[in-house]
Amino acid sequence: MSAVGSVCGPLAGGVLLRHFWWGSVFLVNLPVVALVLLAGYLFVPDSWDPAARRLDPVGAALSILTLVALLWAIIEAPVRGWVSAGVLDAFAAAVVLPVVFVGWEARVFPAMTPGQAVPVPRTPAPSPPDANRRDRYAGWSGETRCDTARTVPFSAPSDNGTA
């Protein structure tokens, strides 16, 4: 399928650019998206999981608006000026909207995000007596470095005894 897309995509884009406005290359996807959404609504069954979580459209909209406000402000600030009213308003929205998002998520059930920080489990690097098992730990702890042709934990001794 990707081969078909890599051949047909540029050809269709060229035809659209030759005969229509350049924005038509973006608008051509709208009917496809509409058909896929309709087909998904008609043919994809609801979850069989009795504890399936519902969607949180308000939380999703708040998080999207936060990112849009922040990115718009960063992109437009060099053009419009960092202290222009629109840019400052967008930065203010990018500060206020996450607070509104957290407030919303605290009240809605089920929330999009957990109410508490989830600790990320880490596997400790091997101690020197376990150095012969260092390959077992190499991909687990996140504490790896690239050393010419192999990956070893930072704290594991190398073959010559140095760390």
Asked if the structure places residue 163 within a domain, the reply is: no
Nearest-angstrom CA–CA distance, 118 and 34: 37
Mean pLDDT over all residues of the chain? 76
pTM across the whole model: 0.49
Name which of 126, 99, 120, 101 is nearest 111 in CA terms. Answer: 101
Please report the pLDDT score of residue 142 as a whole number: 47
User: Per residue in 1-15, pLDDT tens?
Assistant: 778 888 888 898 889
Residue 99 lies in a domain: yes
Q: Does residue 114 share a domain with residue 129?
A: no
What angle is formed at CA 38 by the lines to CA 33 and CA 44, rounded to 5 degrees? Answer: 115
59 shares a domain with 79? yes
- Is the pLDDT confidence value at 152 over 90? no
Residue 21 lies in a domain: yes
For residue 79, what pLDDT band results from cuts at 50, 70 and 90? very high
Range of the domain at 148: 119-158
Q: How many domains does the chain have?
A: 3
Of the listed ranges 58-62, 128-132, 143-147, 156-160, the least confidently predicted one is 143-147
Find where tokens 């459209």 sit: 57
pLDDT at 53 over 70: yes
Residue 65 banded pLDDT, cuts 50, 70, 90: very high
